[in-house]
Structure 1
Amino acid sequence: MDERDGVRPLTVEWVERQLEVGERLVGAVALHGGITAEMRRLTIGNRDGSTRELVLRSVVSEPDAEDWLNREAAALTLLVETGVTAPELVAVDPTGAQCEYPSLLMTYLPGRTVLDDEGVETRVPLLARQLVAIHALRPAERPPTFVTLTTADTVVIPEGADPAIWGTAIDMLRQPAPPYEGCFLHRDFHPGNVLFDGARITGVVDWAGPCWGPADLDVAHCATNLALVHGPEWGLRLAEAYQEAGGKLKDLYWQVRDALSFSEELDAVSKPWRDAGRTDLTTRVVAERLDAYVTALVGGPDRGRTR
């Protein structure tokens, strides 16, 4: 195993120091979908011929890697004692002191991410119920308070969008954030970070950004992803399903804020979807869907339409 296999030599040595006696790293397969980290499924072989699998996250292009990996390690440790299925922590090298890059090693969960339009009506209520379960967690030590970076001046209005509708949405960002009752957030919950086996969720991954804030933020982020991948109506449907599952949403402000944040990086956001097989989700298509979703949020349900 060397760099040509995708796992660099120092990282190979570090991984093998975490294994049981008689085990070694025998294979690696790249996992797609990440933007700032390289993800690989590792095959671990034993002397008796048996194998098991782990997952390696190597953060290659993020200045806050140490903070991210420490937060993920803490979250995975917390989740072991809950009903939320997540990978289990094996080891973490948050500064890259022993690996080529800051890295985290965790157990492998069965299942796969599903981005196909078929079956979305079944998956949306499952996503909503999973969010309710996450928001019910009460860690002994609260994670950091959420941060939002999008401002009224950073929003990029899509070509052909109605300036009046978008102006109304942007003006909402100029107002103070509404009061909220905080809870534990995943902060990057969306279909690309949820594993399915048929009509069953087998786990939630990518716990690098847990924080404390309004439940609306997690719901809003997943809703925007659904709106762009499957159509605006599915973003609206998630908010309904979350409340049907017992969750409470406080203010439309958070849905609008999250939707507008996507306007800044539509190509970067949609590329992993295309890499995963949704080649129809071109930057132009995603921009049109974002426009329709923002229109539906600000102008009412009769204003937005799937494109």
Structure 2
Amino acid sequence: MNHDEVATVRPLTLAWAGRHLEAGERIVKTEVLHGGITAEMRRLIIGTRDGGTRDLVLRSYVDPFYMEHAEDGLIGEAGALTLLAGTGVPAPSLVEVDPTAAQCEYPSLLMTHLAGRTVLDDEGVEARVRLLARQLVAIHAVSPAERPREYVTLTTADTVVVPKGADVAVWAAAIEVIRRAAPPYEGRFLHRDFQPGNVLFEGSPSNPEGGRITGVIDWAAASWGPADLDVAHCSVNLALLHGPAWGLRFAEAYEEAGGVLAASVCERLYWRVRDALAASEEVQSVSQPWREAGRTELTMRAVEERLDAYVTALMDAPD
């Protein structure tokens, strides 16, 4: 066993994970998985009885700021992973969950590891947008026997952070949009954080077909709500990663893949603007993992400028 690396996982948590392995298996190594914002992610490399290895993933909420919602998030994720088993949506399989840290140092969830990697580069984005859209349509087609919790939006008209140098009048108009009551909607099963950082691909980014999606991860916010909200969330992430035009393109790709959005322009605008304004409060937490993954040009200022351009494009779109 690599004691130096294993020691970085707390002893109680390590023992808990070990109790949920197959007979004759043992944890031989752990590795930090980068890119997570709310939780600490680690790969557990498991030695099998036949001398081979397999991987599991451990999610632990260790930051006091996020621990307040850890129980709800882990229960929600465990429920989502159980629901998705056998649906064809490439999600991890649940191994075990300890949402209240009854047996671990911190609230934790153990799940299977999926092949593939996140792809955040500009190269091949056109093909990946089509793949992302088709995958999101498939997620929204899942029909749970029991509905998950209702969606949550934390941003309000009073918490929006207007970027420095932004057109104040445009942002004021956008903020007025979300002061309205949410429009009626036909509910769908939502991922609620569907975006390139939570989708795994295999294949070269330069492949004109975009490779293939091998996994969709981080189901902690899975909920029930309007398809428009998932589309809006992926759209703003694409706008910040690749430029505002790709945020606008994603909604088109979703419909081309068979997805159904709100009937009226006004209703669609509400959801798109709501999630775009939500991003204004998260520029630092969103952009830092992107820079750590190699997109060093995506400074806070650069991301704020793209967000401003995207909000302006939404508000300038023809009725």
The TM-score with structure 1 as length reference comes to 0.95
Residues 1:271 and 2:288 are matched in the alignment: yes
- Of 66, 70, 88, the residue aligned with 2:71 is 66
* 1:205 matched residue in structure 2: 217
Correspondence 1:105-124 to 2 at 5 A: 105-124=110-129
Could you say which residue in structure 1 is the equivalent of 2:25?
23
- Name the counterpart of 1:226: 238
Structure 1 counterpart of 2:44, from 35, 42, 45: 42
- Is 1:3–1:9's contact at 8 Å kept on the other side of the alignment? no
Following superposition, the deviation at residue 58 of structure 1 comes to 0.6
Deviates more, 1:158-167 or 1:119-128: 158-167
Tell me which of 160, 172, 179 is aligned to 1:174.
179
The range that moved more, 118-127 or 272-281, is 272-281
Q: Does 2:80 correspond to 1:91? A: no
| Deviation of the 1:300 alpha carbon | 2.4
Q: What is residue 163 of structure 2 aligned with on the other side?
A: 158
Deviation at 1:131, TM superposition (A): 0.6
AA of the residue aligned to 1:249: L
SS, match of residue 260 in structure 1: helix
CA drift at 1:150: 0.9
Structure 2: stretches of 5+ with no match in the other structure: 204-210, 263-267
Please give the per-residue CA displacement for 1:248-300, whole angstroms capped at 9, x wherever unaligned: 11121100000001111211111111111111110000000000000100012
Superposed counterparts of 1:217-296, under 5 Å: 217-250=229-262, 251-296=268-313
Offset of residue 22 of structure 1: 1.5
Cα distance between partner residues in 2 of 1:126 and 1:135 = 14
Deviation at 1:205, TM superposition (A): 0.4
Instruction: Give 1:115 shift.
Output: 0.2
How far did 1:4 drift? 6.3
Superposed displacement of residue 6, structure 1? 2.2
**CA displacement 1:146-196 (0-9 Å, x = unmatched):** 111111111111111111111111110111111111111000100000000
Q: Is the 8 A contact 2:6 2:30 kept in 1?
A: no
The whole-number CA distance in structure 2 between the counterparts of 1:143 and 1:57 is 21
2:5·2:29 contact (CA, 8 Å) conserved in 1?
Answer: no
Q: Give the conservation status (yes or no) of the 8 Å contact 1:2–1:8.
A: no
Q: Distance in 1 between matches of 2:30 and 2:75?
A: 24
Q: Report SS of the residue matched to 1:202.
A: strand
Letter in 2 for 1:272: P
Q: Distance in 1 between matches of 2:168 and 2:134?
A: 36
Q: CA deviation at 1:2?
A: 6.2
Aligned to 1:189: 194
Quote the offset at 1:3 in angstroms. 7.1
AA of the residue aligned to 2:166: A
Partners of 1:294 and 1:11 in 2: CA distance: 43
| 1:149 aligned to which of 148, 154, 157 | 154
After superposition, what is the alpha-carbon deviation per residue over 1:90-120, rounded to whole angstroms, capped at 9, x for unaligned?
Answer: 1111111111111111111000000000000
Structure 1: 5+ residue stretches without partners: 302-307
CA distance in 2 between partners of 1:74 and 1:286 (Å): 34
- Separation (CA, whole Å) in 2 of partners of 1:42 and 1:79: 23
TM-score normalised by length of structure 2: 0.92
RMSD between aligned alpha carbons?
1.2
Matched residue pairs, number? 301
User: Within 2, Cα distance between the matches of 1:67 and 1:264?
Assistant: 22
